Amino acid sequence: MCCAVLAYVCLGGLAANEMEVAAKQVRPSGIKGQDDRVRVDVKKHPWKTVGRLNRDGNFCTGVLVAPDKILTAAHCFWNSRTRRWSQAKFYHFVVGYEKGKYAGHAKGISYETAFNKLPDLRKYSLKREDDWAILTLDKPLGDIFGTVPLSPLSGQYFVEQSRKNGDVVQAGYSKDFAHVLTVHKKCRITDYIRLGNDRAPVYFHQCDATRGDSGSPIFHLNQGEYSLLAIHSATGKTSAGKIIGIAIPARQFSQQLKN
């Protein structure tokens, strides 16, 4: 599982004592250039729709997309210790989470992925574009904390528009700080690309997302309204050695949410 914890960040950045701690830590591979993550108010929209998906001290990030459903990364349900898929009932989703406290909590009931039957990841390499999962919760947290609609935009057109005037925002719970939600505002989607000729496209991005941010939302802000453009899946490198984030476009899972 992609797990993480997140230290305390002030609205304008890290506090002085936290900067000393951060300076001693190894720089996470998902930070691209300057670290642009800042803390936000988890009581406000859309941040109150973003939560931590916990299991046995490990966690990923998820976002409410329906009253009783969250979207996250599929690999968060793969137990690397037992080398098998975990049951949904072992997962807890908390929203409004900050420094050990939370505003809402629900347990998992079941989850849906890109596969009719979950593959054996001991034998099968999970394709990045399939790294998404929809978890059904035992409580309709979205009725209380709100949900985020999927963006109707995608593809190379959006990449070009975002370079000009699109506001792209990533929000998640990262590994290198503990127990607060951080956001990278005005980060960039840099490409819309296939990782193989027979594969669906993914986004490359420059948002500061690292371990623990798996499944975290990448929002598009347009005229004050947020929509879900993609979810963060992993950090990788281009053939030229440049660090990039890889995200799953909303169109990959939009049909499942309509059913």
Q: Give the 3-state secondary structure of residue 19.
A: helix
3-state helix vs strand vs coil in the chain, percent to 5? 15, 40, 45
Which residue type, as a one-letter code, is found at position 192?
A: Y
Taking alpha carbons only, the member of 61, 234, 244 closest to residue 159 is 244
User: Phi-psi category of 203—alpha, beta or left, where left has phi over 0 and alpha has psi -120 to 50?
Assistant: beta
How many residues belong to the chain? 259
**Whole-structure pTM value:** 0.87
**pLDDT for position 20:** 41
Instruction: Look up the CATH superfamily of 1-259.
Output: Trypsin-like serine proteases (2.40.10.10)
* Residue 12, both tokens: 């304008």
**pLDDT for position 164:** 64
Taking alpha carbons only, the member of 79, 49, 63, 2 closest to residue 231 is 63
DSSP code string of 184-227: EEEE-EEEEEESSTTS-EEEEE-----TT-TT-EEEEEETTEEE
Give 110's strand partners.
136
Between the alpha carbon of residue 120 and those of residues 78, 123, 134, 207, the distances in Å are 10, 6, 19, 31
Q: What is the pLDDT along the chain (259 residues), one digit of tens a residue?
A: 443 322 222 223 333 333 344 444 567 778 888 899 999 999 999 999 999 999 988 999 999 999 999 999 999 999 989 999 999 999 999 999 999 999 999 999 999 999 999 999 999 989 999 999 999 999 999 999 999 999 988 788 778 776 666 699 999 999 887 589 999 999 999 999 999 998 999 999 999 998 899 999 999 998 899 999 999 999 998 888 889 999 999 989 998 887 7
Angle, CA of 83, 86 and 87, to the nearest 5°: 160
**pLDDT for position 165:** 63
